Amino acid sequence: MQQTNTSGYKFQGSAEEFLEAEKIVNSWGTQGKVYKPTREYQRLLRELRIRYEYRLDTNFAKMDRIVHPGIEEFKRRVYNTELSGMTVGRWNKLLSSRLKDSIKKSLQDYLQIREESIDEIID
């Protein structure tokens, strides 16, 4: 058996909000429900996620809904695993925080990733 990482978003709004969201998606045209990796389509999806309540639904998130001691131990081991100077749990909390300055500083400090202008890189 091979497991892949899969994620998606589950609508969490009311039935009325779902009908509103459905009208918006229908306004995208006949191909509006066909996934596209384009910037424009991703922007449309982001607008829906901002406007309505969704929850991230990943394989890992699904494990949170299962109560089992072995799964809890697995999650503890994963979250406590150190990766590039911080635990996976700490990276997860930081990257999901949307605190741009803290994320930028940690990427610089721990991974030596920094932002530069294209002119500096070319020169």
Report pLDDT for 97.
82
pLDDT in tens, 46-56: 999 999 998 88
Same domain, 60 and 44: yes
Pinpoint the alpha helices (H) of 11-99.
15-26, 39-51, 59-63, 69-80, 88-95
pTM, rounded to two decimals? 0.51
Q: DSSP label at 57?
A: E
**Whether residue 6 has pLDDT greater than 70:** no
Whether residues 109 and 77 fall in one domain: yes
One domain for residues 76 and 61: no
Are 76 and 123 within one domain? yes
Structural domain including 28 reads 1-65
Q: Which two tokens stand for residue 51?
A: 């406007």
**6 and 17 housed in the same domain:** yes
**Burial tier of 123 (Cβ tally within 10 Å: 0-12, 13-18, 19+):** exposed
Domain boundary among 16, 48, 65: 65
Structure confidence by residue, pLDDT tens digits, 15-54:
999 999 999 999 999 999 999 989 999 999 999 999 999 8
Query: What is the number of structural domains in the chain?
Result: 2
Q: 65-123: per-residue pLDDT in tens?
A: 788 999 889 989 999 999 999 999 999 899 888 788 999 999 999 999 988 877 776 76
Q: Is residue 82 domain-shared with residue 98, that is, in the same domain?
A: yes
